[in-house]
């Protein structure tokens, strides 16, 4: 299974990808996580990416395409993988198709997480992330047991720089302009399924499994 999770920032792609990893053992390929890792390591790529991410803009296509091309060649991707946050532009989707074609593979399914903007703003502004293990919480709806501490590994929880109010608005606008057209791209290819992402995480997970069957 090569699965593309499509949807605006905060729609729950990362949350659901982690459930899919646990249930199916497919690796999660998140370009956002890869870029944040590069930033935390202080690499040249990380420094370049940070200037785009802090503003809520997309990192240049060639940078993320290079990251994904290298990652999909690793052994754990042989039986499939989940793409979370990639592709995000039509050129990225076309590059992905070409890359997979060379490997004798293709995208099997793209699932679009549908959700209104008001709920996205609520989710993103209240999100807290563990920098150590990547677990996610929400200050109202998915609270950690101890305030500010990750339930899984005990590390401090932080607010992502791009989850500040002014950057959230920019990310939503960028999504509409550059990423939303991908729904039509995968619809035309006969690969698109849509799910209601406003439901509880458990119900979204059920809908996602149905969309994959």
Site residues (CB under 6 A) for ligand AP5?
Answer: 7, 9-15, 31-32, 35, 52-53, 56-59, 64, 85-86, 88, 92, 123-124, 127, 136-138, 141-142, 162, 171, 200-201, 204
Give the span between the Cα atoms of 162 and 125, in whole angstroms: 9
Shortest reach from residue 162's CB to ligand AP5, in Å: 6
Query: In this complex, which beta carbon is closest to ligand AP5, that of residue 22 or of residue 104?
Result: 22
Enzyme catalytic residues: 13, 88, 127, 160, 171
Answer yes or no: are the C-beta atoms of 7 and 114 closer than 8 Å.
Answer: yes
DSSP 13: H
Shortest reach from residue 4's CB to ligand AP5, in Å: 11
- The rounded radius of gyration (Å) of the Cα atoms in the chain is 16
Query: In this complex, which beta carbon is closest to ligand AP5, that of residue 27 or of residue 32?
Result: 32
Query: In this complex, which beta carbon is closest to ligand AP5, that of residue 10 or of residue 192?
Result: 10
* Residue least distant from ligand AP5 (Cβ): 32
Residue with tokens 């982690």, as numbered in its chain: 18
Query: In this complex, which beta carbon is closest to ligand AP5, that of residue 104 or of residue 166?
Result: 166
Shortest reach from residue 211's CB to ligand AP5, in Å: 15
- For the chain, the residue count is 213
Backbone angles phi, psi at 189, to 5 degrees: -80, 0
Shortest reach from residue 181's CB to ligand AP5, in Å: 14
Mark out the alpha helices in the chain (DSSP H runs): 13-24, 31-41, 44-53, 61-72, 90-102, 117-126, 165-174, 181-188, 201-212
Question: For residue 24, with 0-12 CB atoms within 10 Å meaning exposed, 13-18 middle and 19 or more buried, which class applies?
Answer: middle
């Amino acid at each position: 299974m090569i699965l593309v999770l499509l949807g605006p920032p905060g729609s729950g792609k990362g949350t659901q990808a982690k459930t899919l990893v646990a249930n199916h053992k497919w690796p999660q390929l998140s370009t956002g996580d890869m870029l944040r890792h590069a930033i935390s390591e202080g690499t040249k790529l990380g420094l370049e990416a940070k200037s785009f991410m802090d503003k809520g803009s997309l990192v240049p296509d060639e940078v993320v395409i290079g990251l994904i091309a290298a990652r999909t060649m690793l052994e754990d991707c042989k039986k499939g993988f989940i793409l979370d946050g990639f592709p995000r532009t039509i050129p990225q989707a076309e590059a992905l198709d070409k890359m997979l074609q060379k490997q004798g593979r293709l995208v099997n399914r793209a699932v679009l997480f549908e959700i209104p903007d008001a709920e996205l703003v609520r989710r993103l502004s209240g999100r807290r992330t563990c920098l150590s293990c990547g677990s996610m919480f929400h200050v109202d709806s998915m609270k950690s047991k101890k305030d500010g501490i990750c339930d899984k590994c005990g590390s401090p929880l932080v607010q992502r720089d791009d989850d500040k109010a002014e950057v959230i608005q920019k990310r939503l606008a960028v999504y509409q302009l550059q990423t939303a057209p991908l729904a039509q791209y995968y619809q035309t290819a006969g690969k698109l399924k849509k799910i209601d992402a406003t439901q509880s995480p458990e119900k979204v997970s059920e809908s996602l499994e149905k969309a994959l069957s």
